[in-house]
Structure 1
């Protein structure tokens, strides 16, 4: 009888967790209203809601009386009321009212979490509360700046957060995954080297591509020449475990409208070790009309959906056969640095 094949494993490759001491975008601002919004992040239930001054509150989504989600209750003024016990909780998670008695039971409270809201995203800190103010969430001003036109979407991907981050760090895959959306520059015979800058917790890079035409769909919506080669630059940044930002400049002469820039924002949150919520935004400084947005939306959504399918397949292979040996190339330099930082952050938390 043939022996069973043992899944391949290699120390240092296996993703073992994710940082908890980080800001994660649990929702888009327009999702959170004066009704409970239940979600999950970092393997725990969280409820978000707005109070009377318009600010967002984040509490553990579990009634202190019995294991019933607060998100199935209602918001009343500055409190959230359990739909089962009737216990009412304030923005700090303290029970302030019990329907059957005047005295509040000792210990009747639920965890509350620091919240920051800016540029259309609701960021929540689920780690050690005392560290939240020391590491404010990274600003993303282009998402609310009227000089930029932004669209996007969100969904959950059945893959570890590291797989998403490493995918963002290497756009050379784009030409293989989706030749239609890919800038023709990515088809260059030799990929220019990345210029990488590191800090203790961030990775940023840039790469100048040789002149090449812009994608046909981009030329069509802007009226630019579909055959003229333009110098192009790629920039990317791992800003925090929950935020990745990319920039692509196509240097069109001022006489033809000036540089056309895309900014890509990826806010990602681990739901658990095998699922990641992905809020993506595409911003541009050209072709501001709705017609251009509607022309671009299916192109980008289709690409991100294909990436989602690929990463879910990668996760399935890992879950089935384990991590094996990997062969990396020069284009992986940023991704490998991101991997190191993520694993060190996890190790530093003792998880």
Structure 2
């Protein structure tokens, strides 16, 4: 059967960890089938190196950080932030050329982004800003896990929210149960933006309860989504409520996806809102969204199992798939451009 997988470009920023996960203890992970170790040096900045000692095939993440170097737990070789070996315990002279790969790193929002492609391109293509993740005017919570499915399946899922009403009627805004208005899509060479305006409808019961808005009144609603980079989606849902009733309520959904390999994806998700401030509301919302994302994970993992067993089939696409199909085209072109 035909393989329609898009592949994964290397010349892109991927979120390998949340900022809180990276400290002076080595953090070992994988991305694009590449072992990477993350750690902080004395000035607080994050370093990303290949997670394999140059001396023998032993992970540097099983060693320790000493000041501005990471020391192998087997050989004792010490590597600086550039990946160069600067100390060998058994001799005074460091072997010529002893080093491990070093990767460009940026912290944006509360995420650690790493560039595994051509290093000279990284400075010209900075990570997409996600200021709402750390802006005090937005309340944010989230989670992360690894999904046993290729990243293309996650991209397809984020490109169409009409399935939400089927997967989880509890979390779904009631308006999603009706026929979806036409999806408006805007394209650049590397991004896909889309939106649709939904007719006035009531809020979900849980949102009305938490926000204090009317549970029976109908409000216009707007959906916006954006594929901003191979490793980043940023979506939002606006409920247009009159100012005298509290003003527009907005959710922002951030999805950082990193292909671990062709069948596994790291998914860091964040839910931000501009209403119902405080930890109490977040504690009420967290299990609602976590339950939904776990259901989606289970579905995507089932899809991957079907593909592994039976291959790719000829999918029947509908109008709601327009954005996802454009994302596939962009990813195929980015991969092709890398040769």
Shared fold (TM-score greater than 0.5)?
A: yes
Q: Indicate yes or no: 2:96 matched with 1:106.
A: yes
- 2:74 is matched with which residue? 84
- 2:316 is matched with which residue? 327
Pairs within 5 Å for 1:44-123: 44-123=34-113
What SS is found at the alignment partner of 1:172?
Answer: coil
Of the three residues 240, 243, 265, the one matched with 1:251 is 240
Q: Indicate yes or no: 2:22 matched with 1:32.
A: yes
CA-CA distance at 1:294 after TM superposition: 0.8
Q: Indicate yes or no: 2:193 matched with 1:204.
A: yes
Of the three residues 171, 179, 183, the one matched with 1:181 is 171
Pairs within 5 Å for 1:260-339: 260-339=249-328
CA-CA distance at 1:44 after TM superposition: 1.1
- 1:222 is matched with which residue? 211
Pairs within 5 Å for 1:123-202: 123-188=113-178, 190-202=179-191
CA-CA distance at 1:16 after TM superposition: 5.2
What SS is found at the alignment partner of 2:29?
Answer: strand
* The 10-residue stretch of structure 1 (99-108 or 253-262) with the greater mean CA deviation from structure 2: 99-108
CA-CA distance at 1:273 after TM superposition: 0.3
What SS is found at the alignment partner of 2:82?
Answer: coil
What SS is found at the alignment partner of 1:151?
Answer: strand
CA distance in 2, matches of 1:321, 1:40: 27
What SS is found at the alignment partner of 2:162?
Answer: helix
Which digits, 9 at most, give the CA deviation of each residue in 1:223-265, with x for residues without a partner?
A: 1111100000000000000000100000111001100000000
What SS is found at the alignment partner of 1:134?
Answer: coil
Contact 2:108-2:127 within 8 A present in 1 as well = no
CA-CA distance at 1:17 after TM superposition: 2.2
CA distance in 2, matches of 1:311, 1:324: 16
Runs of 4+ in 1 over 6 A off after TM superposition: none
Of the three residues 330, 333, 336, the one matched with 1:341 is 330
* The 10-residue stretch of structure 1 (106-115 or 14-23) with the greater mean CA deviation from structure 2: 14-23
Which digits, 9 at most, give the CA deviation of each residue in 1:193-227, with x for residues without a partner?
A: 11100000100011000000010000001111111
What SS is found at the alignment partner of 1:345?
Answer: helix
What SS is found at the alignment partner of 2:252?
Answer: strand
CA distance in 2, matches of 1:14, 1:329: 17
Q: Indicate yes or no: 2:231 matched with 1:242.
A: yes
CA distance in 1, matches of 2:167, 2:187: 28
Aligned-CA RMSD value: 0.8
Aligned length: 339
TM-score, with length taken from structure 2: 0.99
CA distance in 2, matches of 1:106, 1:14: 45
CA-CA distance at 1:326 after TM superposition: 1.1
CA-CA distance at 1:85 after TM superposition: 0.6
Contact 2:6-2:328 within 8 A present in 1 as well = no
